[in-house]
Amino acid sequence: MSEFRLERDSLGELNIPKDAYYGANSYRAYENFKITDKAMDPYFIKAIVEVKKACAILNNKVGILSDKKMQAIVDACDEILAGKYLDQFIVDPIQGGAGTSFNMNANEVIANIANLSLGGSLGHYEHIHPNDHVNLGQSTNDVIPTAGKIAIIRYMDDLYEEVEKLVEAFDKKSKEFDEYIKMGRTQLQDAVPITLGQEFNAYRRVVKRGLKRFKAAKKELSYVNLGGTAIGTGLNADYYFVENIVTTLSDITGLDLNQANDLIDATQNLDGFLFTSSVLKTFAASLSKVANDLRLLSSGPTTGISDFKLPAKQAGSSIMPGKVNPVIPEVVNQVAFLVIGNDMTVTMAVEAGQLELNAFEPVIFYSLIESITALKGAISTLTLNCVEGITANKEKLRRKVENSVAIITPFAPHIGYDAASAIAKESMKSDKSVRELILEKGLMDEAEIDKILDYKRMTRPGILDEEHMEKN
């Protein structure tokens, strides 16, 4: 018995595995686009099936798709949404043709499932046709970008949840370290005192700002061009269908989707995807800076900065016993590099659109989904395997402050910048403390110095010991 069935499309006849729910269009794409060796994204599959379900329901409502055909398509969609037949989506995520291969893959799988339910056979489409029924009132050019936006919105929701956990972890550490006085640093040199809690609160804030930008990106993505068909004019789609399809899709997806105000514009231009990519890039760059700080401030353990310790998660060297590396911040850095690189890919793909269509949507979706999923993983491990386990020695940090030449700064308003600078230089040269030199030169007495060397007050705005300034 043959292991194949013969199908015919516009290019001719083709042997298809006999039990396959995909058809000739899908198989040709499978053969043509062996690019990434990856399966189509499951969120993307779910989204395009939801689009097909919504279209079937509305085409039935306007009277151009029978109850029987509509129900067969809807039932087929529901089976896929329940997790069946996912292995039948065989086209590569990166493909030529603006996503036509993926659209036809969905059309064929749904049509074959529906045909079987109506007593038909695989590949013959005697009851439900992939184009005439499943794709009725649609084009690749409105289906694919709409499904892509739905998928990315859901990925953004997943990312949002992970970022919220990281914000909470930084918040807890900022409170735990609120009284830990340490030296701040600018350009890797001692600056003025700060609390470790203040540093971690700054990390919390920069990460939290990303959440606001994520919401803005989701809003951009919520405007879809479904109903525009080939170039945004809505040709071959019923007028009522065009006016109501996005509302129907919103009900099915549970997402707050909106039809674009100008479907021609929305079909031509993909700036919403670029905006989303820029938001991800901005977040990745900020997160990478935080990871850099974690690596620097934990450097050592005996000859580095060593302001705090990262939790030890694995052996750091095949030759140096006992070495532990900052592997979690390092992987965060690498993910940031990936996201920033993907942003360039998205930028070029969005720019490369021509006339009424952008043919490069597949690589845009691939890049954005890769960026979001990688960021989600990086943030998860950063939260669980790094931030939550950071520890610090309060007294060790305080001693560093006391021994730093940089504590000359709050004395400058009292003794003048030039005198303070001279004391700083002498301190570094002589190894005498700032306190010792100020006393030695008779510039202030012990009580006056103690008022100024209030390290906690140094972490807040103000001129220390202003009364002394007024007196002089």
Annotated catalytic sites, by residue? 317
Total residue count of the chain as it appears in this document: 472
Which of these, 119, 52, 104, lies nearest to 80 by C-alpha position?
Answer: 52
What is the C-alpha to C-alpha distance for residues 53 and 74, in angstroms, rounded to an integer?
A: 5
Q: Do residues 26 and 107 lie in contact, with contact meaning Cβ atoms separated by under 8 Å?
A: no
Give the 3-state secondary structure of residue 293: helix
Radius of gyration from C-alpha coordinates of the chain: 31
Contacts of residue 369, Cβ cutoff 8 Å, sequence gap at least 6: 41, 43, 44, 151, 152, 155
Beta bridge partners of 17: 4
360, with CB counted inside 10 A (0-12, 13-18, 19+), is: buried
Which of these, 143, 142, 133, lies nearest to 113 by C-alpha position?
Answer: 133
| Location of structure tokens 């301190």 | 427
Give the 3-state secondary structure of residue 193: strand
Q: Which two tokens stand for residue 110?
A: 């749904």
Element of type H or E holding 33: none
Strands 181-186 and 223-224: unpaired
Give the 3-state secondary structure of residue 187: coil
Contacts of residue 162, Cβ cutoff 8 Å, sequence gap at least 6: 375, 376, 379, 380, 383
Q: Do residues 192 and 177 lie in contact, with contact meaning Cβ atoms separated by under 8 Å?
A: no
CA distances from 43 to 77, 166, 278, 466 (A): 14, 24, 22, 62
- Side-chain-side CA neighbours of 391 within 13 Å: the count stands at 5
Q: Do residues 231 and 264 lie in contact, with contact meaning Cβ atoms separated by under 8 Å?
A: yes
Give the 3-state secondary structure of residue 445: coil
